[in-house]
Chains A and B, each alone.
Chain A
Amino acid sequence: MLESRRFVIIGFFALVGVIYLLRLFYLQVLDESYSIESSSNSIKRVTEIPFRGQIYDRYGKLIVYNTPVYDLLVTPNRVRMDDTLRFCQVLGIERRDFDSLMAAASAYSRVKPSLFLRQLSKEDFASIQDIMVDYSGFEFAKSSLRTYTAPTLANTLGYVSEITKGQLEKQEEPYYRQGDYIGQSGIERIYENELRGKRGTKFVMQNVAGVYKGPWKSGELDTMAVAGENLYTGLDLEVQQYADSLMLNKVGSVVAIEPKTGQIISMVSAPTYDPNSLASRYFSKNFAALARNPYKPLFNRPVMASYRPGSTFKLIQALIGLQEGVITPGSGFTHANCPVGCHNHPATSTVALGVTHSCNPYFYNVFRRLIYKNNIKNTFKASAVGLDAWHDDIAKFGIGQRLGIDLPSEYKGNLPDKKYYDRFYGEYRWKFSNIYSLSIGEGELLITPLKMANVAAIIANRGYFYTPHVIHGVGDKKSVKPEFLERHETGVEAHNFEPVIEGMIGAVEAGTARRSKVEGITIAGKTGTSQNKRGDDHSIFIAFAPVEDPKIAIAVFVENAGAGGSAAAPIANLIIEKYLSRKVTNKALEERMMKLDLMSKVVLPTTKKPAETETKKKTEEVKKPTGDPNDPANRVPGTPHPANPAAMRGPVSLPKQRQ
């Protein structure tokens, strides 16, 4: 009878149930081996944060390391406080701070420790450790703090701070937890995965009172923390600090590259700040001050600021012209029939002389020949085809492209092509006469200081470059990222560089940059004067040296400093000399540059977008009191300016205060 099978089925169900109950009874009640951690003991997971990797300069000098610090934790319900006043004195806090910190901790949990004071230095720790014994409910937790050997390179290195809520939610694999530290900018951000190391986990047993009862399962399941990997940069700390001192009280950038490898030797973003100020207990306060600073010290100018290249761009024009065969080294042009103006200079009968004297009509003509280098009769169509061909040649120099440096937020720049102008004028509605300002590096061209330093490196190498990069070795093996070992060709043959380099030598010896030449070192350089809508021209200089065996290629941008020869060229040449011979001969020039204060000339970008008239007014206002900026004699150093509080000049050193 099939109905009777129900008993077999129910019997089977019951059998399984009984077996499971017996098994559970055995596991849970009879077998003691699983309940070593009896209900009174609990296992706590302790996370061990490893030290972040250290960062070294090209000679092995330490730039960034870690200092152990101590966080003070409080467990509110265990606090026994007889003398609150003395306690506050010891910690250097106000009574009301104490109250609010305690209130915050109690609000979080009365029985679990929460952060009371963050990052006490070793000295602070030593001085209060003994006294803290008198106050129960407080304990110290070791942690570490980024420390910088010199107050420099703030933007390049970046800073580390507590992970933000947004970052916490966005992370792809759940690695970070609330309160973890993460590299927020610069090298710290790009190399976060290498620097952070591997967190360790320890399982420890505690009794109900939270007292440590030894490792759980004798540490069998623990994982060791692994320190982060060290990073080796190509930076020269000494030259970097020297460059910092030259850029004091100026707004601008210095980028120096080793042409043969693409390693960054120095990278100044002025004004800057002391990186130690963002690696302290006062992070939020100091960060707010930096973020409010109208000169934007947190803006990493070498890779993020956009300028027009000005006359420095003529170098690329000349190279492309020679390569494309529209000119020969002996080509000459006069000022006749040219819409762009020029200054008085000897005749430019060769490419070298054109470069030396930075003759505008010369490069107007070169560009004209490049654009019309085709057989198309219609000038509109010819311009369109010519511009795209030109665009592709220039792009090989990294203009209008991201170079791929290992720093965040690299600005792409702008290199206009046919499509770009079609948007403004319509297809075949524009021709050479609309775009000729590109010939001398003005118009719609936008570059970054890094790109121009790279151009200098390309010329130094006679035709190729390696992607500029800060980190030239990761970890003990000092492995280099493969993309930094890849040689990029520009397509311009080596022999075409010689006339241009000859012109650059001329510019330093007898041309636009003659006032800053260095005895004993052959420097090839080119000045640039970048027009901008706000305020005076930006002073630009790119150079490399020594010409015979280039060891450094450099670009210096000084905002609102006027012509390239006035500020950028002297600064660049002083840095070159410092790097190559470790000393500087022209002490007078050095002193003049260090004292040069251009902060008052800088037109501050207002936080909100200003109305057109307002900007103009401001420009005039700034221009009025300064007179001729190029002549230091005319200047009273440190002229105060209404919009320029003296405290914000140069490296912003924020006083260590205690709240």
Chain B
Amino acid sequence: MAESKPITKNVDWMVVLIYIACLIIGWVNIYAAVYNPETQTSMFDLSNNAGKQLMWIGTAALLIICILVIDYKFYETFSFVIYAVVIFLLVVVLFAGSNINGSRSWIKLGAFSLQPAEFSKLAISLAISKYLSDPAISLNRKLKDYYPIMGIIALPAFLILLSNETGSMLVFASFAIVLYREGMPGFIPAIGIIGAALLIITLLFVKWYIAGAIVVIAGLVIWLMPVMTRRRGGLWATIIVALIMIGIVFGVDFFMNNVLQKHQRGRIMVLLDPDSDPRGIGWNVIQSKIAIGSGGMTGKGFLQGTQTKFDFVPEQSTDFIFCTVGEEHGFLGTAVVVFLFIALISRLVVLAERQRSRFARVYGYCVAGIIFFHFMVNIGMTIGLMPVIGIPLPFFSYGGSSLWSFSLLLFIFLKIDAQRPFTLSRG
């Protein structure tokens, strides 16, 4: 075996470079976000978030070295063990966690605090990959093959829900992408997307109009389908789908008022009309949009932002770090960030597709999906396209736990990918 070849030869440098670029841009913007012209502290000062983030980056580098040194088979072999450890931590945090901002999700060890929920993504990814690495498992034929996957996701999701960290739980929706790739019928994600779209549309327009529109579309489908496809069997299916959609439309009120909690309902309402609660939940959205919008084409310049200072935008260095980019570096800055993310995710999909083992491919898609979901929700909420869900922007947001978990997630995949030439295909 040629495994003694230096890892540097085989690791995908494009991903590594994007990773480093994200870290540096993120760190500089954290500094800008916490920068106070009245008490100027250095970027390296450990008393501010930028200094601390540098420390986190340093420790993440050590972590990466460890990952690259450990044998690649470790992750596959011990994936369920890692999963069990994270579950254990999630249970521990319920009892021993310190309460920060109303969610009991941090384990405090001296000055150091850890958020196990952040690592649950990694654990689920490994566990799902391991489970799907069995070639007998088929997602497009057997319903019972879904049950273990449901279990793998539901257990940590339930524990995270108990610790009141809904944002981290929603990230698990990203596993739909990998399941789709592995054979889940396309109508399932389609239903999800159509359901969400209906929810939004229903809140915006009069229900009877929407119901009418659905009936018209269904009629068109029934009328046109035989002409287009020369098939007749779609009649009942179309009627049932149309009825379900109408049911959703009229069920929205019940869902909004009885299923969602007050703050969650508020976040959705604000998404539709930020001015409905400008001093409350709408504040974040309005301020964040003003900050990004005021950046213009080229931005106000490094440290020259005014909106992201003075606490206009809350959580400037964590969840709303993208505002600082938008304000100080303008459209050019934000476009670079969006490009970096799309490039990273696309590259990950390409890497995943070239894997020979199903474990590696599934894991690669998990990583791509998770990063994509964070990117979509985080940036989406700062520009008013997504409800406010407090999840970090990978590699950018301030915070040790999230930086560590994303670095682990990414570099475990890079390590597995680097070993690809020596891996036997299993299907």
Q: Which of B181, B293, B294, B372 is within 8 Å of A5, CB to CB?
A: B181
Q: Is the CB of B181 within 8 A of A28?
A: no
B82 within 8 A of A: no
B306 within 8 A of A: yes
Which interface residue of B296, B310, B385 has the most chain A CB atoms within 10 A? B296
A-chain residues with CB within 8 Å of residue B289 when the two chains form the complex: 27, 34
Q: Is the CB of B304 within 8 A of A24?
A: no
A337 within 8 A of B: no
B-chain residues with CB within 8 Å of residue A634 when the two chains form the complex: none
- The stretch among B59-67, B164-172, B265-273, B326-334 that forms the contact with chain A is B326-334
Q: Is the CB of B383 within 8 A of A27?
A: yes
Q: Is the CB of A39 within 8 A of B293?
A: no
Given the known interface contacts A17-B342, A39-B304, A178-B39, the answer about A27 and B293 at a Cβ–Cβ threshold of 8 Å is yes
Q: How far is the CB of A179 from chain B (nearest CB, A)?
A: 9
A42 within 8 A of B: yes
Q: Which of B177, B182, B339, B383 is within 8 Å of A23, CB to CB?
A: B383
A348 to B177, CA, bound (A): 101
Q: Is the CB of B346 within 8 A of A24?
A: no
A27 to B183, CA, bound (A): 38
Residues 35-46 of chain B, each 1 if its beta carbon lies under 8 Å from chain A, else 0: 001110000000
Q: Is the CB of B383 within 8 A of A39?
A: no
Q: Is the CB of A112 within 8 A of B353?
A: no
Which chain A residue shows the least CB distance to B293? A34
Which chain B residue shows the least CB distance to A206? B306
A-chain residues with CB within 8 Å of residue B301 when the two chains form the complex: 39
Q: How far is the CB of A328 from chain B (nearest CB, A)?
A: 62
B317-339 interface (Cβ within 8 A of A): 326, 330-331, 334-335, 338-339
B-chain residues with CB within 8 Å of residue A35 when the two chains form the complex: 293-296
A349 to B58, CA, bound (A): 88
Q: How far is the CB of B140 from chain A (nearest CB, A)?
A: 8
Which chain A residue shows the least CB distance to B331? A28
Residues 203-216 of chain A, each 1 if its beta carbon lies under 8 Å from chain B, else 0: 10000000000000
Q: Which of B39, B326, B341 is within 8 Å of A28, CB to CB?
A: B326
B-chain residues with CB within 8 Å of residue A8 when the two chains form the complex: 180, 186
Q: Which of A9, A10, A28 is within 8 Å of B334, CB to CB?
A: A28
Q: Which of A5, A17, A24, A33 is within 8 Å of B180, CB to CB?
A: A5
A20 to B353, CA, bound (A): 26
A-chain residues with CB within 8 Å of residue B339 when the two chains form the complex: 17
A-chain residues with CB within 8 Å of residue B39 when the two chains form the complex: 178
Q: Which of B177, B180, B296, B310 is within 8 Å of A39, CB to CB?
A: B296
B123 within 8 A of A: no
B380 within 8 A of A: yes
Given the known interface contacts A20-B385, A24-B326, the answer about A13 and B346 at a Cβ–Cβ threshold of 8 Å is yes
Q: Which of A24, A29, A33, A203 is within 8 Å of B338, CB to CB?
A: A24
A603 to B47, CA, bound (A): 49
Q: Is the CB of B338 within 8 A of A3?
A: no
Which chain A residue shows the least CB distance to B279? A221
Residues 160-188 of chain A, each 1 if its beta carbon lies under 8 Å from chain B, else 0: 00000000000000000010000000000
A21 within 8 A of B: yes
Q: Which of B290, B299, B342 is within 8 Å of A14, CB to CB?
A: B342
A34-85 interface (Cβ within 8 A of B): 34-39, 42-43, 45
A6 within 8 A of B: yes
A126 within 8 A of B: no
Residues 162-192 of chain B, each 1 if its beta carbon lies under 8 Å from chain A, else 0: 0000000000000001001111001000000
Q: Is the CB of A28 within 8 A of B342?
A: no
Q: Is the CB of B372 within 8 A of A28?
A: no
Q: Is the CB of B338 within 8 A of A34?
A: no
A19 to B38, CA, bound (A): 39
A-chain residues with CB within 8 Å of residue B383 when the two chains form the complex: 20, 23-24, 27
Residues 276-308 of chain B, each 1 if its beta carbon lies under 8 Å from chain A, else 0: 000000000000011011111101110010110
A16 within 8 A of B: yes
Q: Is the CB of A2 within 8 A of B183?
A: yes
A420 within 8 A of B: no
Which chain B residue shows the least CB distance to A23? B383
Which chain A residue shows the least CB distance to B372? A13
Could you jot down 29 A-B contacts, CB within 8 Å? A2-B181, A2-B182, A2-B183, A5-B181, A6-B349, A9-B181, A13-B372, A14-B346, A17-B341, A20-B383, A20-B385, A23-B384, A24-B292, A24-B326, A24-B334, A25-B331, A27-B326, A28-B293, A28-B297, A29-B297, A35-B295, A35-B296, A36-B294, A37-B294, A39-B300, A39-B301, A42-B304, A43-B306, A178-B39
Contacts A27-B292, A39-B296 known; list 8 others, CB within 8 Å: A2-B183, A5-B180, A9-B181, A9-B349, A17-B339, A24-B331, A33-B293, A39-B304
The interface of chain B, by Cβ under 8 A from chain A, is: 37-39, 177, 180-183, 186, 289-290, 292-297, 299-301, 304, 306-307, 310, 326, 330-331, 334-335, 338-339, 341-342, 345-346, 349, 353, 365, 372, 376, 379-380, 383-385
User: Can you list the 8 inter-chain pairs with the closest CB atoms, starting with the nearest?
Assistant: A34-B293, A17-B342, A28-B331, A43-B306, A39-B300, A27-B293, A24-B334, A45-B310
The interface of chain A, by Cβ under 8 A from chain B, is: 2-3, 5-6, 8-10, 13-14, 16-17, 19-21, 23-25, 27-29, 31, 33-39, 42-43, 45, 112, 178, 203
